[in-house]
Amino acid sequence: MLRKMLTALGLAAALAAPVAAEMEDRLVTVVTSPDPQTQLMSMVLTMQAVQKGVEAHVLLCGPAGDMALTDAPESATAPQPPRDMSPQGLLQAAIANGATVEVCAIYLPGRGEGPEVLIEGVGVAQPPAMAEKLLDDGAAVWSF
């Protein structure tokens, strides 16, 4: 019995290896965390993917949406060690490098504000289009 189980596991690993070695060509990064370090790390990893040629789409929801505000809180703009980068600064770098960035459709109405409060390059996600991106078989989805 144990031998059959090990053989089955070995076969499953061998079949999965080629799939795991393939890199997705699209990435959806969903950021909801209020933690500045988590927000920054989400942008660091997204930028790494962008630099590898991956098409990146960033969705900011809840407290993470604050990263996209022109009048963002200090937690989104304060430089962090070790490279003195901020979540918003790296978000802007991602936009400059071709990433699409949107806030959740309910973020701005929940604040009683419109898209004019967002930094340049940030839009508002449309639920049908966002659902399509999240369900895309060719896309990796990272959630922070």
Query: pLDDT (tens digit, 9 = 90+) per residue, 19-33?
Result: 444 668 999 999 999
Phi, psi (rounded to 5 degrees) for 98: 105, 0
Residue extents of the structural domains in the chain? 23-143
pLDDT, position 69: 98
> For 74-98, what is the mean pLDDT?
96
pLDDT, position 23: 66
Cα-to-chain-centroid distance, residue 46: 6
Specify the pTM.
Answer: 0.83
CB atoms within 10 A of CB 73: 14
Instruction: Encode pLDDT of 103-135 as tens digits.
Output: 999 999 999 999 999 999 999 999 999 999 999
Q: Does domain 23-143 have CATH number 3.40.1260.10?
A: yes
Q: How far apart are CA 109 and CA 106, in angstroms?
A: 5
Straight-line distance from the first to the last Cα atom of the chain, in angstroms, rounded to the nearest whole number: 40
Q: Are 100 and 58 in contact (CB under 8 A)?
A: yes
Phi, psi (rounded to 5 degrees) for 123: -115, -170
